């Protein structure tokens, strides 16, 4: 699977662990994140991930910041992006199953590396359920 990843300074260490984990499963990653712990503006690293997903260069996106909120808010400014802030595997599963999330937002300061890997495994393997959820998805965009 082709995956785009972006992070700010709070997510550098977690991003490195995620990349290592995903490369073991032969996923192809595009890294738009910073590799430095020096303070940066998360939006500069999140918009490129959303653009990769929108242009279908990748199947899904992973975004990481301290709380996960700023990253999710930034990505969700793009029409047709459904970035889900996840902090448990169960929430990651429901974000795919019911909301057809195409980007997972991870709060680096609130989840462990193990928890992040578990969430990603679920996020990547869970298909959208469709059905009654499809009409709800169609009502999200404001365009």
Query: Once rounded to an integer, what is the mean pLDDT over residues 100-104?
Result: 98
Judged against a pLDDT cut of 90, whether residue 141 lies above it is answered with no
Domain ranges of the chain: 2-138
Task: List Cα–Cα distances, 88 to 23, 26, 42, 50, in angstroms.
Answer: 22, 24, 22, 22
The verdict on domain 2-138 having CATH code 3.40.50.620 is no
Contact, 107 vs 15, CB < 8 A?
Answer: no
What is the predicted pLDDT for the residue at 142?
81
Quick: pLDDT tens for 29-62: 999 999 999 999 999 999 999 999 999 999 999 9
Least confident residue range of 64-68, 108-112, 128-132: 128-132
If one counts every other C-beta atom within 10 angstroms of the C-beta of residue 130, the result is 12
Quick: pLDDT tens for 54-92: 999 999 999 999 999 999 999 999 999 999 999 999 999
Which residues carry out catalysis?
Answer: 98
Read off the pTM. 0.96
Query: Once rounded to an integer, what is the mean pLDDT over residues 85-103?
Result: 98
């Amino acid at each position: 699977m082709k995956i785009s990843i972006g992070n700010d300074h709070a997510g550098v260490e977690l991003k490195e662990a995620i990349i290592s984990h995903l490369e073991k499963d032969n996923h192809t990653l595009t890294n738009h994140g910073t590799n430095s712990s020096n303070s940066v503006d998360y939006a500069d690293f999140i918009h490129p991930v959303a653009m990769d997903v929108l242009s279908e260069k990748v199947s899904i996106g992973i975004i990481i910041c301290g709380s996960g909120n700023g990253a999710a808010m930034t990505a969700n400014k793009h029409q047709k992006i459904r970035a889900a802030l996840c902090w448990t595997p169960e929430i990651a599963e429901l974000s795919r199953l019911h909301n057809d999330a195409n980007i997972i937002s991870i709060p680096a300061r609130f989840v462990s590396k193990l928890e992040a890997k578990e969430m990603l495994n679920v996020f990547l393997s869970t298909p959208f359920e469709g059905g009654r959820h499809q009409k709800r998805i169609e009502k999200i965009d404001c365009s």
